[in-house]
Amino acid sequence: MALAMPKILKEVLQLSTEWLAKSKSDSPRFEAEWLIGHALGLSRIQLYTQHDRTLMENELDKVRILLRRRVAGEPLQYICGEMDFYGLTLLVGPGVLIPRNDTEILVDHARRLLKAGDRVLDLCTGSACIPLALQKSFKGGLSIDAVELSPEALAWARRNVEKTGLAVELHEGDLFAPVAAAGPYALISANPPYIGRDEAPSLAVEVRDHEPHLALFAEDQGLALLSRIATEAPRFLIPGGWLICEIGWRQGEAAIGLFAAAGFESIRVEKDHSGHDRVVIGRWSS
């Protein structure tokens, strides 16, 4: 794609929007604003207050590079290196799952189940978006462990803990193994991989070709990790403790079955903003 550009900012913004629209972007104007703002170090408001500004050739080169990456399918969040989540600006990049708005629903429900002073464990923590959002909500009043198997993702989690200054103890390993001597916890949360491998062809290119497959896909039609978590979690929960997990939009019934088989009670599935199954919650009463 030829990227010959005008030099006036408002014209660069318009042409970039058109290029992104042709590449099937869902929000071409928003993405153009984000990419150009990132390239030039300008806020969205500054893009418009300086709309008649003439750009230097080196500035245009920065814009071209970012546009090429986006048109090639690289996630916008990886290009800009950050993502807003639950009032936090988190660092993200290759090797870590990009936090989604749907995961904020899990945080909403987890907050209602917790009180200051509770111990929390977050599994498959990725960028640490869930434990950091919970800790921020309780102004540092929770004791939180977070576990991640991928060293690459854990490196992003460490950056986010350092950036936010929020207290989350990070552990590298497989699910409960790194905290086998810890606990018990009042709540265990997880956003495990839950996409079946047969669903890969239907995913957007920016997801399938760029985000880590370890964080996306699971065996047994996407339910393998959820099954392990439900089975192993009771050993790490206090009586009356809660398990809350993000699930795929068609997995509600299966998730309830897995929680019930593991002995959980008061099981329910909560919907996302589109009305799809998104979070399964169960209480351990033994």
Does the pLDDT at position 261 exceed 70?
yes
pLDDT tens column, 153-170: 999 999 999 999 999 999
User: Are 113 and 66 within one domain?
Assistant: no
Q: What percentage of the chain exceeds 70 in pLDDT?
A: 99
Q: How confident is the model at residue 3 (pLDDT cuts 50, 70, 90)?
A: low
pLDDT of residue 6: 80
Tokens of 89: 């600006």
- Poorest-confidence range of 23-32, 95-104, 138-147, 275-284? 23-32
- Domain extent for 48: 9-72
Q: How large is the average pLDDT for residues 8-13?
A: 93
Domain shared by 151 and 252, yes or no:
yes
Q: What is the pLDDT of residue 5?
A: 73
- Look at residues 189, 285, 173, 183 and name the one whose alpha carbon lies nearest to residue 229: 189
Residue 197, domain member (yes or no): yes
Q: Are residues 112 and 59 in the same domain?
A: no
Same domain, 102 and 166: yes
Q: Are residues 114 and 28 in the same domain?
A: no
At residue 1, does pLDDT exceed 60?
A: no
Is 162 among the domain residues? yes
Query: Long-range contacts for 43-49 (Cβ within 8 Å, ≥24 apart)?
Result: 47/9, 47/13
The token duo for 144 is 């939180």
User: Tell me: the pLDDT tens digits for 195-204?
Assistant: 999 999 998 8
Mean pLDDT of 216-220: 94
> Which residue bears the tokens 């099954």?
227
Kindly state whether residue 57 falls inside one of the protein's structural domains.
Answer: yes
- Reduced to 3 states (helix: H, G, I; strand: E, B; else coil), residue 180 is coil
Kindly report the average pLDDT of the chain as a whole number.
94
Q: Do 173 and 61 share a structural domain?
A: no
- 55 and 105: one domain? no
Residue 149 lies in a domain: yes
Kindly report the number of other CB atoms within 10 A of residue 33's CB atom.
Answer: 19
* Confidence check: pLDDT of 277 > 50: yes
pLDDT of residue 158: 98
Residues 90 and 42 in one domain: no
**How confident is the model over 94-116, as a mean pLDDT?**
96
Query: What amino acid occupies position 186?
Result: A
Interhelix angle 224-232/252-261, nearest 10 degrees: 30
Domain co-membership, 27 together with 54: yes
* Residue 2 maps to a domain: no
How many independent structural domains does the chain possess?
Answer: 2
Amino acid in the structure at residue 196:
G
The candidate with the shortest Cα–Cα distance to 158, out of 133, 206, 125, 110, is 125
Q: How far is the C-alpha of 79 from the C-alpha of 69, rounded, in Å?
A: 7
pTM of the model: 0.91
4 confidence band (pLDDT: 50, 70, 90)? low
Q: For residue 74, which phi and psi values (nearest 5 degrees)?
A: -65, 135
**Residue 156, both tokens:** 């992003």
